[in-house]
Structure 1
Amino acid sequence: MTDTTNPLGLSEHSHGSDVQVPDSKRDTRTRSFDVADFPVPTGREEEWRFSPVRKISDFFADAATEAKLKIDADLPAGISVEEISLESAQELGILEPEDRAAVVAANRASAVTHYSIPADTELERAAIIHADGTGDTLGHGHVVVSVGANSKATIVVEHEGLARYSELVSLVVGDGADVTFVSLQLWDDGTQHLAQHDAIVGKDAKLKHIHITLGGDIVRLNTNVRYSAAGGDAELLGLYFADAGQHLEHRTYIDHNTPKAKSNVHYKGALQGKDARSVWIGDVLIRPEALDIDTYELNRNLILTDGARADSVPNLEIETGDIAGAGHASSTGRFDEEHLFYLMSRGIPEEVARRLVVRGFFNEVIQKIQVPEIEDVLNERIEEELSRSVL
């Protein structure tokens, strides 16, 4: 069917409980904290074939570096921060990474920065963590956020400045907890940022994970979710705007390994300028034990100028016939001329009409974020991007 609310004319489809998708190798990838378990990527691997591997080759080197981000945190009552060892972090139940760069970051970070929220705690406001780059020397980081049972929290991490930064972010969401985690990539030109975000979601817990990527030369972000018990709900939202020469890559993986869980992935991006590049890879695995789950993933890309390229690859693996629903959709295209004609026929100049279409395209995701602390900066940055566009 055609989604008439989509200015790109997206064609969507769903998989019912009687549909089986052929097996793939997604669930057999290495998971480990041992760097030796991961060969150095060449760019020919499935998980690296879209990435500019040669430009980030030193991110794979198992070597210590001195660079660190400058952290300024505004934390409300109820959340504490401390430095712990990697061994202590593993005892919290964090997931093992699947990416050599992330494993190197975990092992070469000077310490693990642990933000902790105890059980039965509701933060009165969002925790804001501002991370500022300090130059073009490669640095490593490992951040762990653990949220106790039946707690509610919003954590926002803002990245700005110039940096070459590799990190692992590990989220542990306790039973019945409700967590929103927002990562803003507002980097300066010249920044290279690789990150893997791994989340384990507890029984009847809710996780809303949000990536906003508007800056940096090369940004590659992986987000992986698993469930520790039945009833978990994960929502992954993303928004990106690639300019000339930027490579913005987002990968999501939902591992449905428990019954009665839910997941929803919704990423949208716009591209403008020569050699602007975006990549979105969405993987969902529904294991045999994942009975009565419901999942959907969606990616839409809006091409504003010639010379830009967007790759969008949704993958859905179903290993059981007893599911509530599973579907995916993706699209890449230009403006729908009918939308432009409609606006212009009502006296709106063409340039303004085109900007309105772009704002409306992004607004679908912005409305779902529901974090007032980032709405103003997000809208301001999008306006800056639009002011540079040739519409």
Structure 2
Amino acid sequence: MTVTETPAVAEAIETTKVSSHLHPEGSFRVEDHPVPTGREEIWRFTPLKRLRGLHQETALTGDTDTPVVTAPDGVVAELLGADNAVKGTSGFVPNDRISARAWEAAARTLSLRIPTEAVVEEPIVVTLTGTGTEDASATHAVVTAEPHSKATVVFRFEGSMTLADNVEIVVGDGAQLTVVNIDDWADDAVHVGHRHAQVGRDATFRHVDVTFGGDVVRHDTTAEYAGPGGSVEMLGLYFADAGQHIEHRLFVDHNAPNTESNVVYKGALQGEGAHTVWVGNVLIRKVAEGIETYEENRNLVLTDGCQADSVPNLEIETGEIAGAGHASATGRFDDEQLFYLRSRGVEENEARRLVVHGFFNDLIRRIQVPALEEELVATVEAELAKNVLKAF
């Protein structure tokens, strides 16, 4: 989809390359991205040796089963060849070696299009099931919500796989789009994913990232604006078990005035060697007057031997804004909450369970996808049963 702007709107958007230490300059050429060593800022938390060569030269030639798409009437779902008209419409440019390799190697593109003014009540669900980790794979998808449409798209990842993928999202003027990403991999999966959204004038975009499974999961989620008045909300829920590495990196580029962004990610960790990383980056450009942004990350450590890294960043180039802020916290169970529940006769395991559910429930309700709420509550319960409740 091509976004057509009036001259006044076009002048209000800054489209030059990002000159920010928060986000490397992108390139489609793999050779423009050196093999990372782990000393680079964007790779310093990632266990490179566990990526199975996705960041090096491992061939991305693994066969991937055709994703199963469940789409209500009116939604256009197509599996296109590598060279197609929708690829690149979001303005996405790979900002690291893995995303550039996936862009080059993906043999097909899954295109989902919600027509202009269409209101799709039921979620569009895309399920990719891996059948092995021996051969690494690359996939590409483009979601286009045309002007004044409304829809929810759910991507599910299951099974065993070594995957590098890119997802482009185009939210047309006045459209309302929710994209939910659920990583429910087997314990041996490795997934490095990139999601990029271009949000049109007065459009509303909500991205939800749910990560429970996998050995190593690293997601880069980026957003920019194609006109004033756009709103971005990024919500994340993750639960890391023993030895698991879960990493979320976010970048919101406020390149247009009167735009909004709100980021809330919550995670829990349990088991020896559980490691989570959250890096939230927001750039407010000179042109972005009147914007408002806030980012928040909370981590709940349930057992000994866990590590949670949380790094919020703000880079502000204009003082003419409505507000900008961030918050980050990592801690154990709240002893006062536990004492309150125990003093009223609640058994200790049940008290701990209630505290964890309370930690996540407000975020789950904000997702506003009723079909997923019950599922996510049950998944949190299953994660607790693995370790933390057995320890008491």
TM-score, normalized by the shorter chain, greater than 0.5: yes
State the match for 1:20 in structure 2. Answer: none
Q: Is the 8 A contact 1:103 1:168 kept in 2?
A: no
State the match for 2:3 in structure 1. Answer: none
State the match for 1:272 in structure 2. Answer: 270
Counterpart secondary structure, 1:225: strand
The answer to whether 1:134 aligns with 2:131 is yes
CA distance in 1, matches of 2:132, 2:374: 27
State the match for 1:260 in structure 2. Answer: 258
State the match for 1:14 in structure 2. Answer: none
State the match for 1:218 in structure 2. Answer: 216
The answer to whether 1:37 aligns with 2:35 is no
RMSD across aligned positions (CA): 1.6
Deviating above 6 A after TM superposition, structure 1's stretches of 4 or more consecutive aligned residues are none
The answer to whether 1:105 aligns with 2:98 is no
Task: List gaps (5 residues or longer) in structure 1.
Answer: 1-22
Counterpart secondary structure, 2:49: helix
State the match for 2:44 in structure 1. Answer: 49
Once the two structures are superposed, the pairs formed by residues 148-187 of structure 1 within 5 Å of their partners are 148-187=146-185
Counterpart secondary structure, 2:300: strand
The answer to whether 1:66 aligns with 2:44 is no
Deviations 1:344-368 (A, max 9, x none): 1111111111110000001121010
Counterpart secondary structure, 1:66: coil
Deviations 1:121-143 (A, max 9, x none): 11131101111112112110011
CA distance in 2, matches of 1:182, 1:319: 31
Look up the equivalent residue of 1:181 and give its one-letter code: V
- 1:64 to 1:309, Cα distance in 2 relative to 1, 3 A: closer
Counterpart secondary structure, 1:186: strand
The answer to whether 1:325 aligns with 2:320 is no
State the match for 1:206 in structure 2. Answer: 204
Look up the equivalent residue of 1:378 and give its one-letter code: L
Residue 33 of structure 1: how far off its partner (Å):
1.7
- 1:325 to 1:257, Cα distance in 2 relative to 1, 3 A: same
Task: List gaps (5 residues or longer) in structure 2.
Answer: 1-17
State the match for 1:17 in structure 2. Answer: none
CA distance in 2, matches of 1:186, 1:34: 31
CA distance in 2, matches of 1:314, 1:377: 29
Once the two structures are superposed, the pairs formed by residues 208-357 of structure 1 within 5 Å of their partners are 208-357=206-355
Moved more, 275-284 or 79-88: 79-88
Counterpart secondary structure, 1:339: helix
Q: Is the 8 A contact 2:142 2:168 kept in 1?
A: yes
Matched length: 369
Q: Is the 8 A contact 1:158 1:185 kept in 2?
A: yes
CA distance in 2, matches of 1:28, 1:249: 16
CA distance in 1, matches of 2:192, 2:23: 22
Counterpart secondary structure, 2:256: coil
Residue 84 of structure 1: how far off its partner (Å):
4.2
Residue 118 of structure 1: how far off its partner (Å):
1.7
- 1:79 to 1:225, Cα distance in 2 relative to 1, 3 A: same
Q: Percent identity?
A: 48
CA distance in 2, matches of 1:86, 1:96: 16
Residue 282 of structure 1: how far off its partner (Å):
0.2
Match of 2:21 among 21, 26, 29: 26
Moved more, 69-78 or 267-276: 69-78
- 1:286 to 1:115, Cα distance in 2 relative to 1, 3 A: same
Deviations 1:154-209 (A, max 9, x none): 00111111111110010011000000000000001100000000000000000000
Counterpart secondary structure, 1:197: strand
Q: TM-score, normalised by structure 2?
A: 0.91
Deviations 1:254-275 (A, max 9, x none): 0001000000000000000000
Q: Is the 8 A contact 1:30 1:37 kept in 2?
A: no
